[in-house]
A and B are shown apart, each in its own frame.
Chain A
Amino acid sequence: MALTKEILMEMYLRMNHARHFEEKVAYFFSRGMVHGTTHLSVGQEASGVASAMALDDGDLASLTHRGHSQAIGFGLDINRMMAELLGKETGYCKGKGGSMHIADIENGNLGANGIVGGGYCISTGAALTQQYNKTGKLVLCFSGDGSTNEGTFHEAVNLASIWKLPVIFFIENNLYGMSTHIEKSMNIKDIADRAKSYGIPGIIVDGNDAIEVYETVAKAAEGVRAGKGPVLIESKTYRWQGHSKSDAQAYRTKDEVEEWKEKDPIARLRKFMIDQGMATAEEMDEVEKQAKENMEKAVEFARESPEPPVESVTEDVYA
């Protein structure tokens, strides 16, 4: 899968969608229009979007609680995502899931998860289905650095490695699990090292470099598809916003945040495209404008969508 201009422009569009989506969500939140909680991935767009875009049609993915970029990268419709955040019937989960449960199982999206580490076992099982049915498809399992301290990480990666299941464990290391810096939660510097214990490759990528993320996932996918077993990819990145809506961020300095803002993955992809002569500044501006307009439409769609009927509250508990 070569990185054509077309793919890169689409990637740029989706990364912008992700950024605007979360800006809107933050705004709605402050106005009390989105309830519960939500975790923004601003700053992590290259990691979430480029990795998901490196998949083939029919591949699957499971997302984390910080899953908006991941979902948009996977190709989910921003209208229906926004509708879900507003709890509307037209949302991906008919308003029953919200930010932490956006899913589209029929199309391979196994869902965001409110349980830290909740996707590891599900992904492993979905990978078993692919192996069993010889579909040639794989599962991209998104997770965060903190989640690798859950027992399920170790159980799932171990099982996937001995059964040689087609799954990529893609760990977005944004340095913090809520307020806890990785230095305080693990005795190793790189999460990729954990792969050694399971005899699988552990690869580190610059998670703010969309090109590197895309190429690494696409390359890893080849081996995984060929039956060589799982791969663990550690994507080094950073979230600009607090963990969730109520986070005073006392655990990190403003300087640190500013330093990472300098590494904005969106600006970086834009610069790359222009520097390489793949696109003009005007073309990039056009995509940005398009992304903004699309997001306004998504908001309008979500706002105008009906509330789910109260009678639906007991529906779909059982198949």
Chain B
Amino acid sequence: MKEMTYKDAINLAMSEEMRKDKNVIFMGEDIGVYGGAFGVSVGMFEEFGEERVKDTPISEAVIVGAAAGAAATGLRPICEMMFMDFITIAMDNLVNQAAKMRYMFGGKAKVPMTLRLPSGSGTGAAAQHTQSLEAWLCHVPGLKVVTASSPAEAKGLLKAAIRDDNPVCFVEHKLLYKMKGEVPVDDEYVLPLGQSYVRKEGTDVTIVTYGTILHRVLEVVEEVEKEGISVEVVDPRTLYPMETQTIVDSVKKTGRAIVVHEAAKTGGLGGEIAAMISESEAFDYLDAPVLRVCGLDTPIPYNRNLEAAVVPSVEAIKEAIYKVMNRK
């Protein structure tokens, strides 16, 4: 174990996989000498050279499309979108090409690529640099969508993403980059994809959440526990295809469920998870309707106070807990 930041854990995951497998290459805008817009890849250019750490022009479509073409022919590219928002420009290559190649070609293609996507608000960068677009990606069969909410998870899950034979979208909330935590330095520390995870056990209510907002939820949980409400926190980690049994089992135990995420509410994952719970055997155990606490349906504003108001607040999360507990 070694204490390091989330950002360094990602760097370590990529570096370890590149040392291990010559087919792993890394592409993106300013990821070389500059070290990436968020400094995630500092030092990698020096270690691996320009043949494997490839600075690209500002061309999101070809970054993703070339990764798909390289992956289909034997390499395992990792690419960084400078901001998740720019995935919109690469959407054809991700959604119509990379995600479908295997299926559409009768199962004979493999597209082992990893797309790293810095997401989320809280940086004051306003509407075009702060989105959480994971729900879009989760609507595309053939893609995998993964999030990590701690440095150790970032390392373990990213390594799994790189080793996976499918296109994996790895969503990194920017506010987590500087977060520190103990990270296993073992080369083979890999966390499985497609496995939801009970982050904290509890008995009265289940909260399903992921990313930065998970940390806010944990704060709230600590507070309400002082009032005698025990909350179980489940992090799906792989948002798509999501392993749902862990969530269902948790709701069967607690009888109450809330989904919390930063992304806009309408069409978001919260609705999907709520519906999944209602359709599952956990329905008969529910003592209250499943609630969603999500981002407002607005673009992310620039003003600091407004920006903070878009994302689920401590109060909103708390209120939802009281509501499902009938404690209002």
Contact = CB atoms under 8 A, between A and B. Distances in A.
A126 B72 contact: yes
Nearest to A93: B106
Interface string B43-80: 00000000100101101011011111111111101000
Contact of A156 (B62, B96, B111, B165): B62
B103 A125 contact: no
A259 interface: no
B62 A155 contact: yes
A233 B69 CA distance: 21
B73 A60 contact: yes
Nearest to B142: A317
A80 to B, nearest CB: 10
Given A96-B103, A152-B62, A316-B102, A106 B108 contact: yes
B107 interface: yes
Main secondary structure of the interface of B (DSSP, over half): mixed
A105 B110 CA distance: 9
A310 to B, nearest CB: 15
A121 B59 CA distance: 10
Given A152-B92, A159-B59, A319-B165, A118 B97 contact: yes
Given A97-B104, A101-B105, A132 B75 contact: yes
Contacts of A115: 92, 96-97
Contacts of B142: 317-318
Given A96-B103, A106-B108, A128 B70 contact: yes
Contacts of A94: 106-107
B25 interface: yes
A290 B299 CA distance: 64
A105 B108 contact: yes
Given A94-B106, A97-B105, A121-B61, A152 B93 contact: yes
B101 interface: yes
Nearest to A91: B106
Given A125-B73, A126-B72, A152-B92, A319 B102 contact: yes
B102 A318 contact: yes
A110 B98 CA distance: 12
A18 B57 CA distance: 39
A36 interface: no
Given A118-B92, A155-B61, A158-B57, A125 B67 contact: yes
Interface residues of B, number: 43
Contacts of A127: 69
A133 B25 CA distance: 12
A92 interface: yes
Given A132-B25, A132-B75, A121 B107 contact: no
Interface string A83-124: 000000001111111000101111000110111001011111
A318 B100 CA distance: 9
A291 B241 CA distance: 47
A187 B216 CA distance: 55
B112 interface: yes
A156 B102 contact: no
Name the residue among B61, B93, B104, B241 with the largest chain A CB count within 10 angstroms. Answer: B104
Interface string B80-123: 00000000000011001100011111111111100000000000
Contacts of A106: 108
A121 B77 CA distance: 14
Given A121-B93, A121-B97, A122-B65, A317 B57 contact: no
Contacts of B144: 318
Contacts of B71: 125
B141 interface: yes
B72 A105 contact: yes
B65 A152 contact: yes
A315 interface: yes
B103 A103 contact: no
B166 interface: yes
Of B25, B65, B69, B107, chain A has the most CB atoms within 10 Å of the CB of B69
Given A317-B141, A319-B166, A125 B105 contact: no
Interface string B186-214: 00000000000000000000000000000
Contacts of A103: 101, 104-106, 108-109
A126 B74 CA distance: 9
Contacts of B92: 115, 118, 152
> Which one of A93, A127, A163 has the highest number of Cβ atoms from chain B below 10 Å of its Cβ?
A93
B25 A93 contact: no
B165 A121 contact: no
Interface string B23-39: 00100000000000000
5 contacts: A62-B69, A114-B96, A121-B66, A125-B70, A319-B110
Given A94-B107, A129-B74, A163-B54, 5 more contacts: A114-B96, A121-B97, A133-B74, A316-B106, A316-B107
Interface of A: 60, 62, 91-97, 101, 103-106, 110-111, 113-115, 118, 120-130, 132-133, 151-152, 155-156, 158-159, 162-163, 315-319
Interface of B: 25, 51, 54, 56-57, 59, 61-62, 64-75, 77, 92-93, 96-97, 101-112, 141-142, 144, 165-166, 241
